[in-house]
Each structure stands twice: as structure tokens, then as C-alpha cells.
């Protein structure tokens, strides 16, 4: 939680400086990659894989919407990745951890990262977003169940051990940019049971080729997870749960180490 509390600030430059300060204190190697993307300068912060050629990218955006401290969206995801980076440090894992700029705005940092790195150097991408509230891990698998590009994250045994629910749909995040460039990707969130059920319903509707109706859209906007982000009623540091973050970190460790 201490990393979440330090990151949860409305000012974007202060969020960035807090993240950089944490990485230095944790003695983790990182690069600051500045690039003009469209009409904006974006600054991604990267903990390099340390290997030539293809790498598995695990990312979380560090920016927030205007006026929000972005505690669950997405300081929680950033905090989990920092802890994962500590576990991976010194291992020849081929995993690159990226903190993306401008997920909430146009000219995304994730696209700038793909252009800088080169499609040919990325095997797959794992996106963490809204991971600090709830009791169930949910993964939008996008047909990647069993795909070895994701380590053991998509292996049946690891999914069952960690009670992961596979979904056909989660709201778009930085994973969409990797999808755009044809790079295999999954998105991970933490939800409560009620929210999982609605996302399962939405997933089935999308699979059938239908569009969500007005009632489903209303129920989506009333989801508890929605209230934790974008200036919702529970968009605060106090909403984020250490237990939720620990649960997701354990899944990542089981699947990657």
C-alpha cells in the first residue's frame, strides 16, 4: 500500500516522479523513454528484460484521469508490477516491465513503446489495470488459453490454483494497442463476484455477435468496479486492498517464476 499511497496524486508529473523515486529506492534498473506520439510527448518507464530479441511485456499505465488520484486505476497495478520486478530482478526471465504513459488520453504511451521496441521484438503482452479491489482475478484471454508465450500464466493448473476466471471481455486498456499491431495479449483485473457475473454475461453477448442493450449498459455503469475509477464514488486510496494486490501478485509469480 505504501507505493499506492505515494503514487496516488492528481498531478501527472508528480505521479511520474513518485514512480521514479520508488524505482530508485528499490534499486531497480530502469529507462525513461521519451517520444513524440501524435501531438503529445509521452514518457514510458521501462525495466528492461536484459535479453536481445523477443520479450514478454508486462505493463500497467501510471497516468490517471484529470481530477482523480487514480488509486485503483492504476496505482495499484503499478505497485504490483514494482513488487514483481523485485522478484524477477537478477533472473534471466526475458520479461520486460513497462509503466505506460497516457493510457487515459490520446496518443498512447503503449503505442509509442511498440514503435520504439519493434513488433518483431515482442512475443506477447500482459496488461494490468484496476487490480486493487475485489476477490476474484479476471483475465480477458482473447483466445490465448494455453499459449506458452505467456509463460505459465495461461496454463490450466495455474489458472485453477489461483481461481482465475477467463472472460471474453474486459474494458479496453493498453492491451488494445498491442492488439492493433497483431501482438498476442491478455488483460488482467481484480473484480468482485457480482461484477464477474456481469462481465461473463457481456462476454457471451459479444461472442454471439449481438450488442449490449440499454439495460445492460446501465448495469455496466452501476458495477462496483466502475465506482473505483474515473471519479466514481469509491475512487480513493482507502478503497484499494492489500489483499487484492497480494492475490494477483501470487498468480503472477506462479505463472512467471
pLDDT in tens, 215-229: 999 999 999 999 999
**Rg (Cα) of the chain, in Å, rounded?**
17
Give pLDDT, residue 30. Answer: 97
pLDDT in tens, 122-141: 999 999 999 999 999 999 99
Whole-prediction pTM = 0.96
Give dist(CA 207, CA 195) in Å, integer: 18
Q: HSE on the CB side for 50, CA within 13 Å?
A: 13
Give pLDDT, residue 122. Answer: 97
Q: Phi first, then psi: what are they for 134, rounded to 5°?
A: 125, 175
Asked if residue 149 has pLDDT above 90, the reply is yes
Give pLDDT, residue 51. Answer: 79
The pLDDT mean for the chain works out to 95
β-pairing verdict for 95-100 and 136-140: unpaired
Q: Using DSSP, state whether 101 is helix, strand or coil.
A: coil
Q: Using DSSP, state whether 149 is helix, strand or coil.
A: helix
Of 45-49, 50-54, 108-112, 172-176, the least confident: 50-54
Give pLDDT, residue 53. Answer: 85
Q: HSE on the CB side for 116, CA within 13 Å?
A: 21
Give the CA distances from residue 142 to residues 208, 218, 256, in Å, rounded to whole numbers and listed in that order.
15, 25, 19
Give dist(CA 53, CA 122) in Å, integer: 8
Domain ranges of the chain: 2-256
Please, where are the H alpha helices in the chain? 2-7, 12-25, 76-88, 109-117, 156-161, 175-180, 193-207, 214-221, 242-256
Give pLDDT, residue 207. Answer: 86
204 contact partners, CB below 8 Å, separation of at least 6: 168
Closest CA to 247 of 165, 186, 150: 165
Give pLDDT, residue 15. Answer: 97
Of 43-47, 206-210, 243-247, the least confident: 206-210
CATH homologous superfamily for the domain 2-256:
Zn peptidases (3.40.630.10)
Amino acid at each position: 500500500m505504501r507505493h499506492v499511497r505515494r503514487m496516488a496524486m492528481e498531478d501527472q508529473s508528480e505521479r511520474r516522479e513518485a514512480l521514479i523515486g520508488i524505482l530508485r529506492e528499490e534499486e531497480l534498473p530502469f529507462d525513461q523513454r521519451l517520444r513524440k506520439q501524435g501531438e503529445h510527448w509521452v514518457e514510458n518507464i521501462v525495466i528492461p528484460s536484459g535479453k536481445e530479441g523477443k520479450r514478454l511485456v508486462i505493463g500497467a499505465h501510471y497516468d490517471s484521469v484529470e481530477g482523480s488520484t487514480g488509486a485503483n486505476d492504476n496505482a495499484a497495478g503499478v505497485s504490483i508490477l514494482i513488487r514483481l520486478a523485485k522478484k524477477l530482478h537478477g533472473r534471466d526471465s526475458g520479461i520486460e516491465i513497462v509503466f505506460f504513459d497516457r493510457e487515459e488520453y490520446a496518443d498512447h504511451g503503449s503505442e509509442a513503446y511498440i514503435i520504439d521496441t519493434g513488433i518483431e521484438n515482442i512475443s506477447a503482452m500482459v496488461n494490468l489495470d484496476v487490480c486493487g479491489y475485489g476477490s476474484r482475478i479476471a483475465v480477458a484471454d482473447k483466445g490465448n488459453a494455453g499459449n506458452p508465450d505467456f509463460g505459465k500464466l495461461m496454463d490450466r493448473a495455474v489458472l485453477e490454483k489461483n481461481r482465475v476466471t477467463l472472460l471474453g471481455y474486459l474494458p479496453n486498456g493498453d492491451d488494445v494497442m498491442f492488439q492493433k499491431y497483431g501482438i498476442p495479449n491478455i488483460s488482467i483485473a481484480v473484480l468482485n463476484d457480482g461484477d464477474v457475473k456481469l462481465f461473463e454475461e457481456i462476454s457471451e453477448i459479444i461472442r454471439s455477435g449481438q450488442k449490449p442493450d440499454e439495460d445492460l449498459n446501465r448495469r455496466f455503469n452501476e458495477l462496483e468496479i466502475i465506482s473505483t475509477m474515473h471519479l466514481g464514488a469509491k475512487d480513493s486510496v482507502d478503497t484499494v486492498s492489500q489483499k487484492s494486490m497480494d492475490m494477483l501478485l501470487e498468480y503472477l509469480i506462479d505463472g512467471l517464476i
